[in-house]
Structure 1
Amino acid sequence: MINSPLSKTAPRLACTFALALLLGTTAARAGEIHVYAAASLTDAVGELADDYSRAHPGVEVKPVFASSSTLAKQIDAGAPASIFISADRKWMDYLVQRKRVAADVPHDLLGNALVMIAPKGESFALRFDTGFKPADAFQGRLCMGDPEVVPAGIYGKEALTHLGWWPALQDRVVGADDVRAALAFVERGECAAGIVYSSDAQISDKVEIVGRFPEDSHTPIIYPAALLDGESGDARDFLRYLRTPTARAVFAHYGFTLLDR
């Protein structure tokens, strides 16, 4: 078992995870908007939350970042989230089925791409076809989100299975709690390769992209956003803000695809 690496992202994720647990036992206060967002959105939504709070005195946007699966389960357990932004439709549907989100409310906010990464200076040759043998391309472990529950890991397993690579690599996979944890493993050189979103690879100067998985090798990467049932006012305004040209420019800066749905 690998110990979780300490990196520039780990302390923030640890703090927000602890905050999520705390919020599960307290009620939201007036003027607070609790945005539960996928870990890959840490930088973009964190910046937008700060900008919005500064521009709206008396309103404080409090983001909580973790795996979409973790956040969805916390919301279902009663955490007072105002807005949920998932890294896939599966965990949004989970909350729709539990009537925490109305079925007609979620909208597709963003898209992303899936990439293979390696520690900086330790890239390797990779060809995305079924005849390629990835197990021979690198030595060591492959880090990705937990392929059973974390969206980035689910997309990654789909891609590896589509290419016929999963049987050869599955015993070398290290399933991380979320995509930023997988990125941190590779940054520290604890994994020789990793599967993360393009936006995650873009924010790190400690990894390099080995290749981009073909779009048809996995389910389209979609980030649906929704106002939680019973929320309105300030939260609704912030969700609307996330679709403005100003917010879209920030998302684009961090490597996300902009969707008009």
Structure 2
Amino acid sequence: MPLRLALLALLALAAPAAAGTVTVFAAASTREALDRAAEAWEAETGHEVVLSYAGSSALARQIQQGAPAQLFLSANADWMDVLQDEGLIDPDTRSDLLGNRLVLIAAPGAVLPDPLAPGALARALDDERLAMALVDAVPAGIYGKAALAHLGLWDALAPKVAQADNVRAALALVARGEAPFGVVYATDAAAEPAVTVAARFPPDSHPPIRYPLAAMRDAGPEARALLRWLNGPQAAAIFRDHGFTVPDRAP
């Protein structure tokens, strides 16, 4: 091999791999934790993570319409099932990454003893509204409706619900005092100092809250590397620090 070509080959081997970009569509409730996890992975690898947050239903529909997501982190299994049934994700990469809890939050100054007692919350709301994510489409709203129905409260509360596009929008309504109470995830309440937790829903009042993660079928090596890292111990420590539960994983 000519000397010049040999030198070029050596330089190519010595050069660092080109940085890649990974686009992640993620449920709005994961924002703070996933932002921090992405920053850690970027610092470790030199790759860039582009994060798009919204309600899981809206993100799944965008993926169905061809949006360029490489990883999808959903707030419930149903929307991931839809994408899997349509052949849009690689099922071998799918895992339940996170878990969460459901709480009733109160705006500044809103106090209600025993708010989950029969009739208490409906009476306290009077002409005001209970903030929730879309109860028939967004996971937090679906879980919230199920919990309220299980407790026998839904029929009285349904006419008083102000539905928001996603759980963070419902959180914001309560934080601004535009709604005195709301139903959100425990991690949302922990991320917003303006609200207080008025009650915690019993775990058996709604289906288990799980966040499945998967790669799209055409996801590249950087996206798959990020997916493996998110399933690992460094990411788990970050998620737990933000109040999520993390399933035990085989070593």
Code of the residue aligned with 1:76 in structure 2: it is Q
Calculate percent identity across the aligned residue pairs: 46
1:168 corresponds, among 151, 156, 159, to 156
- RMSD (CA atoms): 1.6
Code of the residue aligned with 2:38 in structure 1: it is A
**C-alpha deviations, 1:12-52, integer Å up to 9, x for none?**
xxxxxxxxxxxxxxxxxx71100100000011111111221
1:40 corresponds, among 26, 29, 38, to 29
Question: In structure 1, what is the equivalent of residue 60 of structure 2?
Answer: 72
Runs of 4+ in structure 1 off by over 4 angstroms are: none
Question: In structure 2, what is the equivalent of residue 55 of structure 1?
Answer: 44
Code of the residue aligned with 1:145 in structure 2: it is A
The gaps in structure 1 that reach 5 residues or longer are 1-29
Report the Cα offset of residue 137 of structure 1: 3.4
Query: Which has the higher mean CA deviation after the structures are superposed, 96-105 or 249-258?
Result: 96-105
Code of the residue aligned with 1:245 in structure 2: it is P
CA distance in 1, matches of 2:111, 2:40: 37
Question: Does residue 145 of structure 1 match 2:133?
Answer: yes
Report the Cα offset of residue 128 of structure 1: 3.7
Matched residues, number: 231
Greater Cα radius of gyration, structure 1 or 2 = 2
**C-alpha deviations, 1:29-80, integer Å up to 9, x for none?**
x7110010000001111111122112222x1111110000010011111111
Code of the residue aligned with 2:221 in structure 1: it is G
Retained in 2: the 8 A contact 1:202–1:255? Answer: yes
Retained in 2: the 8 A contact 1:146–1:154? Answer: yes
The gaps in structure 2 that reach 5 residues or longer are 1-18
CA distance in 2, matches of 1:87, 1:169: 24
Report the Cα offset of residue 127 of structure 1: 5.0
**C-alpha deviations, 1:135-193, integer Å up to 9, x for none?**
12344210010001010000000011111111101111011000000000000000010
Secondary structure of the residue aligned to 2:178 is coil
CA distance in 1, matches of 2:74, 2:110: 32
Question: In structure 2, what is the equivalent of residue 135 of structure 1?
Answer: 122
Query: Which has the higher mean CA deviation after the structures are superposed, 48-57 or 198-207?
Result: 48-57
Code of the residue aligned with 1:229 in structure 2: it is R
* Structure showing the higher helix proportion among its residues: 2
1:199 corresponds, among 177, 187, 193, to 187
Retained in 1: the 8 A contact 2:115–2:198? Answer: no
Question: In structure 1, what is the equivalent of residue 9 of structure 2?
Answer: none
CA distance in 1, matches of 2:108, 2:242: 19
Retained in 2: the 8 A contact 1:34–1:63? Answer: yes
CA distance in 2, matches of 1:45, 1:178: 17
CA distance in 2, matches of 1:218, 1:228: 29
Question: Does residue 214 of structure 1 match 2:202?
Answer: yes
Question: Does residue 254 of structure 1 match 2:233?
Answer: no
Secondary structure of the residue aligned to 1:257 is coil
Retained in 2: the 8 A contact 1:144–1:194? Answer: yes
Retained in 2: the 8 A contact 1:123–1:208? Answer: no
Secondary structure of the residue aligned to 1:137 is helix
Retained in 1: the 8 A contact 2:119–2:156? Answer: no
Secondary structure of the residue aligned to 1:174 is strand
In the superposition, the TM-score normalised over structure 2's length comes to 0.88
Report the Cα offset of residue 232 of structure 1: 3.4
Report the Cα offset of residue 123 of structure 1: 2.5
Query: Which has the higher mean CA deviation after the structures are superposed, 95-104 or 242-251?
Result: 95-104
